[in-house]
Amino acid sequence: MPAANAHVIRAASPKRSCLEAFRERRSQGKSGITIAKEHAIVLSRAHFSCRLCGQCRTITKGARAVANRFFSFQEPLVKPTRKSPARKKTPVKSGAPERPKRVRRNPERLIAAILNAAIEEFSNHGFSGARIDRISKRANTVDRMLYYYFGNKERLYEAVLEEVYRNLIEEQRQFVPPEGDPVNGMDELITHMWEHYMNHPEFIRLVMSENLLYGRYIRQSEHIKQVSFPLVRIIDEILKSGKKKNIFRPDADTNFILMTIMSMGFFYVSNQYTYTYWLSKELTPNLRSDAWLGHMKTVIFDHLMVR
């Protein structure tokens, strides 16, 4: 289309209809086909785009009358220039399921979730009764990821033992006995060990399960072999301090003291479902734990103190 014609058309009165503009051009001696070519009137059966008036963009009655009267061609002379209307976004219904957002993987977080789920599973069902599918479901992952990070069920169980012993040793390292007071230091140490047993019953059950396996997997773990229990050193230092002050017996043995504390605390938690059947139910941990802790201290100090 010539630029001059386009300028004239844009300058035309915007109130003038397509039909009026067409008749004006016809009165100037122009044929309908010439007007269509010069001013890009695009006609087809389903589309009419007129630039005679510079505004019309829809099929009006007047425009259709012009098309039916002066034109009979099937295809448009010029391709339509009107852009198709933008597709409206369909609103999402409240009840329709939404695609879950893609979350970036965090290997450390996933491994921690798998270990926590495995601790729960192995402590409740033992090594033989534990199932990988329940662990992966509790960890909100799939079985494939468990095998990817741990290889097999045996290695996962070994990692569980390493994790619970790591937590035990970490708590022992944080324990600092008071200096210069061996009696108070031993008292706080017994309380520290007792609270760990009470707060971590899963540790008790896992140790019981490993003993049913004759300690097979704990012996295979290289990580557990390389660490030592800080309480062994701490108890030894407390006993030496008490012996120097002539408070504790000179023949008090570090290993025996540690085994006594462990056995009394361990048994109270591990066997609570059987001894409460035969003995008074008032001995259950929820009712008499403080009393049993006091009894443990009495037994230890009766053995240690110089008479």
Of the pLDDT bands very low, low, confident and very high (cuts 50, 70, 90), residue 273 is confident
Q: Given phi > 0 = left and psi -120 to 50 = alpha, else beta, which region is 66?
A: alpha
Per-residue pLDDT, 164: 95
Residue 274 pLDDT greater than 70, yes or no: yes
Per-residue pLDDT, 276: 75
| Calpha distance 64→45 (Å, rounded) | 10
Per-residue pLDDT, 48: 44
Residue 51 pLDDT greater than 60, yes or no: no
Per-residue pLDDT, 289: 82
Residue 2 pLDDT greater than 50, yes or no: no
Give the burial class of 118: count Cβ atoms within 10 A of its Cβ; 0-12 exposed, 13-18 middle, 19 or more buried.
Answer: buried
Residues of the chain with CATH 1.10.10.60: 106-151
Q: 160 or 105: which carries more pLDDT confidence?
A: 160
Of the pLDDT bands very low, low, confident and very high (cuts 50, 70, 90), residue 82 is low
Residue 33 pLDDT greater than 70, yes or no: no
Over pLDDT 70: what percentage of the chain? 65
Q: Which amino acid is at 160?
A: V
Q: What is the pLDDT of residues 230-261, one digit of tens each?
A: 999 999 999 999 999 999 999 999 999 999 99
Closest CA to 175 of 200, 191, 192, 196: 192
Residue 73 pLDDT greater than 70, yes or no: no
User: What mean pLDDT comes out for the span 212-223?
Assistant: 92
Q: What is the pLDDT of residues 106-115, one digit of tens each?
A: 889 999 999 9
Q: 33 or 60: which carries more pLDDT confidence?
A: 33
Q: 37 or 248: which carries more pLDDT confidence?
A: 248
Residue 187 pLDDT greater than 80, yes or no: yes
Instruction: Return mean pLDDT, the chain.
Output: 78
φ, ψ for residue 105 (rounded to 5)? -70, 140
Residues of the chain with CATH 1.10.357: 171-304
| Calpha distance 195→156 (Å, rounded) | 27
**The domain over range 106-151 is classified in CATH as 1.10.3080.10:** no
Q: Which amino acid is at 165?
A: Y
Sign of CA pseudo-dihedral 275, 279, 284, 290: negative
Lowest mean pLDDT among 3-12, 149-158, 284-293: 3-12
Residue 136 pLDDT greater than 80, yes or no: yes
Closest CA to 43 of 74, 5, 10: 74
Quickly count: other Cβ atoms within 10 Å of residue 210's Cβ. Answer: 22
Per-residue pLDDT, 70: 47
User: What mean pLDDT comes out for the span 139-162?
Assistant: 95
User: What mean pLDDT comes out for the span 219-225?
Assistant: 88
| Calpha distance 1→216 (Å, rounded) | 92
Residue 79 pLDDT greater than 50, yes or no: no
CATH (residue range 171-304):
1.10.357
Of the pLDDT bands very low, low, confident and very high (cuts 50, 70, 90), residue 118 is very high
